[in-house]
Amino acid sequence: MPSLPLIEPDTALFLDFDGTLADLAPRPDLVRVEPELLGTLRRLHEALDGALAIVSGRPIAELDAFLHPLRLPAAGVHGAEYRHDGEAAAVAAPPALALLWERLAPLARAYPELLLEPKSAALAVHYRAAPQLEALVRAALAEAVRGLHGLEILPGKMVMEVKPAGIDKGSAIAAFMRAEPFASRRPLFAGDDVTDEAGFVAVHALGGLGVLVGERPSAAGVSVPGPAALRCWLHRSAAALAAPRGGPFRTAFT
């Protein structure tokens, strides 16, 4: 892939959380955020005049807890939750989610190594502790959603998620880009999972750039090896934005 440029002052920056800003962990609650990252995100938010948002599958409340004391613009649960300019909105949880939970409860009892995670408008089944159960989880979810309307299955890294149909990270990014301070900027979205592909497609449609964290086939335009490299790029970009402008065009990775 081509080289990754440092962030420019006219960028609208969108960042996934798990596997992008933070390294993946065996369980969602075990993820840790490097303290230095918080200062870098604060500096980038200021340097970009507020045009920085977190776009994640996690609920916004969890993102706020991990990034405390920062309270950034954010889209949570793949866009079902949305906060911009301090005002939050959320898609109502589909009524079918309660029935879905009932249908999956026997699976969780039979396989305690699976983790069922309820969210505000979605339900995730994590199988990172038992990757050999992937086929079983896929089949169980396909059967569980049968006859339930308004839901769709979203596969991810060692997780299968059921969320409201028609909502994804791409639509969340597009919503941000219709409002200030994001409007009229060049969007850049960094993410690692297949759940981020809709975001990559959205930023490309708006003339922006997708950054894949990791290695796999993707619609992203550039890639970095992993979260540590992505954080290094953010640190270097924040420093460059604070420095006097001028000099030759710079890239973070070649």
- Beta partners for 125? 116, 160
169 touches 195 (CB < 8 A): yes
The three-class DSSP label of residue 189 is: strand
DSSP 28: G
* Strand 159-164 relative to strand 4-5, pairing: unpaired
For tokens 């001028």, the residue is 246
Q: At how many degrees (to 10) do helices 96-110 and 134-144 cross?
A: 150
Element (H, E) at 97: helix 96-110
93 touches 121 (CB < 8 A): yes
Q: Which residues contact 98 (CB under 8 A, 6 or more apart)?
A: none
Single out the catalytic residue among 16, 64, 168, 193: 16
If phi over 0 gives left and psi between -120 and 50 gives alpha, with beta otherwise, what is residue 141?
alpha
- Note if 16 is an active site residue: yes
If phi over 0 gives left and psi between -120 and 50 gives alpha, with beta otherwise, what is residue 86?
left
- Catalytic residues, by residue number, are 16
